[in-house]
Amino acid sequence: MRSPLARAQGLGSAKVGAKHWWAQRVSAVALVPLTLWFLGAIIAHAGGDYATVIGWLKTPLASLAMIVLLLALFHHTALGLQVVVEDYLHSNVKFAAVIAVRLGCLALASAGIVATLRIAFSP
């Protein structure tokens, strides 16, 4: 016979679940207006040529909003994929998979930010 406390020891909260949950919710809320802005901008520039879209992205507001969108998007993606990995991988590769997800999202976010900055600061 084990007490309820003995059964729960080692299985309880690691004290990071709430932080992860809040980060995922905050990034999701931030993505709503940013995604609407991005979709509106794409629709508004749908008939424009390459130079028009590049000219729009060179504006400080558009560049800043694009960078914030990329940061929120890939942070939210990393958080969501981490949950998927933790829930569905039950082997020793779980840690490596979480690191790979984080590095992949970091690489994609960095590439998007660098591309945005190159456009914004190109002559």
Q: Which two tokens stand for residue 79?
A: 């958080």
pLDDT given for residue 103 in this prediction: 97
Q: For residues 112-122, give the mean pLDDT.
A: 96
State whether residue 55 is helix, strand or coil.
helix
Which residues, other chains included, contact 106 with Cβ-Cβ below 8 Å and sequence gap of 6+? 74, 78
In a domain, 1, yes or no: no
Q: Is residue 41 part of a domain?
A: yes
| Cβ(109)–Cβ(74) below 8 Å | yes
55: CATH? 1.20.1300.10
Distance CA 76, CA 78 (A): 5
What is the pLDDT confidence band of residue 5, given thresholds at 50, 70 and 90?
low
Assess if residue 29 is contained within a domain: yes
Q: What is the pLDDT of residue 34?
A: 97
Does the residue 50 lie in any domain?
yes
- CB 105 within 8 Å of CB 81: yes
Number of domains in the chain: 1
Average pLDDT over residues 87-102: 91
Domain span at residue 100?
A: 17-120
Residue-wise pLDDT tens digits, 42-66:
999 998 899 999 999 999 999 999 9
Burial class (CB in 10 A: 0-12, 13-18, 19+), 89: middle
Query: Does 4 fall in a domain?
Result: no
